[in-house]
Amino acid sequence: MKKTLLILATFFTLFSCTSDDSNLLPENNDETENPDNTDDPDNTDDPDDPDNETGDLKIKGIIHYDANNFVKNLDEFEYNAEGFVSKFTSTTNEDGVLLEKSTYEYEYEEGKLVKIIDTYESPSGPNVNSVEYITYEGEQIVETCAELTFNNAEQITVLKKDEYEFDGNGYKNIHSLYEDNYSETLNSCDNVVTMTYQYDFDYDASGNLIQFKHLVGGGTNYNTYSYDTKKSPSQAIQPEALKNTIFFRTSTNNNLQTLMKNAINQVVETTDYEYTYNSDDYPTECTVTKTYENGSPTETTTIEYIYY
């Protein structure tokens, strides 16, 4: 099923995107954006700024360069006066041609997320979906519901419901349910009962995701993760309720290694991350090396992190 919501968007998977009209991109790939803020005082995040509740650096963009040092992917973040994420844009190009672009706009009332507008663009045309059913238990989001329209010959519209179970560190399970027999008379998610996907998450004591599995749907492979002790670019993402939902999945520290394993616990793919950090212990650059057990060539790419 075509992606229309940002399923499990995570900083340790380094996002996606790139757009030639972005003001984050250098004029050529030999220039950088001074991500460690050493020469540009206007590119710092003032801990005393009332919009900055945590005093941490806020991520502005993540640029992903391919093996030939061409910009391939770009993620961009905007924040409102409360310091909450108000807009996230993820764009992917290849050879100057747009492959896909997802824009997520977040609306809040009294400090709580109440609506998400998801605009997905591809060569086949745009889709605009809205998440307006968001259920809380205390400060935690426990259920979301969205009407999804897939831009194809049939113009299929379905309801998608996500249910969250959480423990002390983060969400333990996410259930994704789809109702394909959608009718305009159905104005809530109460009748969406068909389990399509189920994800299981395990966390360490710091709140870092250390294992991810598909329990229902998806493949039989699963991932394990290890981390450094430095600050993740996602650390300052607010509000807290947004951090571990299906729309954002964040970590406290930076992913050092991801192991993809098959159903019999054999490693089939290894991804290693090597970082350069600024004086605030945030990553500014990352070299990503991916190796395959089947003998496929090793892939090496780089990431650049830019902060406000």
pLDDT value at residue 177: 67
Distance between CA atoms of 58 and 77, rounded to whole angstroms?
Answer: 9
> What pLDDT score was predicted for residue 169?
62
Q: DSSP class of residue 10?
A: B
216 pLDDT higher than 50: yes
Least confident of 13-17, 170-174, 218-222: 13-17
DSSP string, 54-72: S-SPPEEEEEEE-TTS-EE
What pLDDT is recorded for position 14?
A: 35
Q: How many CA atoms lie within 13 A of 260 on its CB side?
A: 15
As a CATH number, domain 41-307 is 2.40.160.190
Of these ranges, 52-56, 116-120, 179-183, 240-244, the one predicted with the greatest mean pLDDT is 116-120
SS3 call for 236 = helix
Handedness of CA 18, 4, 149, 129 (dihedral sign): negative
Of 114-123, 238-247, 260-269, highest mean pLDDT: 260-269
Q: Which of 204-218, 226-240, 242-256 has the highest mean pLDDT?
A: 226-240
Summarize pLDDT for 35-49 with one digit per residue, the tens. Answer: 333 334 333 444 444
Planar angle of CA 195, 221, 230, nearest 5 degrees: 105
User: Residue 74: pLDDT band by 50, 70, 90 thresholds?
Assistant: very high
Please give the pLDDT value at position 188. 55
Rounded Cα distance, 230 and 283, in Å:
8
Q: Give the residue extent of every domain in the chain.
A: 41-307
pLDDT at 77: 95
Mean of the per-residue pLDDT values for the chain?
77
Widest pairwise Cα distance in the chain: 58
CB-CB contact of 80 with 108 (8 Å): yes
Among residues 258, 250, 257, the alpha carbon closest in space to that of 231 is found at 250
Mean pLDDT, residues 296-300 = 94
Q: How far is CA 42 from the centre of its chain?
A: 27
Given this model, what pLDDT does residue 56 score?
A: 83
Q: Are 236 and 57 in contact (CB under 8 A)?
A: yes
User: 155-194, pLDDT tens digit by residue?
Assistant: 556 677 888 887 766 666 677 766 654 454 445 567 676 6
In this predicted structure, what is the pLDDT of residue 16?
29
Nearest Cα to Cα of residue 267 among 290, 300, 301, 297: 290
CB 27 within 8 A of CB 21: no
Mean pLDDT of 199-209: 84
Give the separation between CA 107 and CA 91, rounded to whole angstroms: 21
Q: What is the pTM of this model?
A: 0.78
Residue 98 DSSP class = E
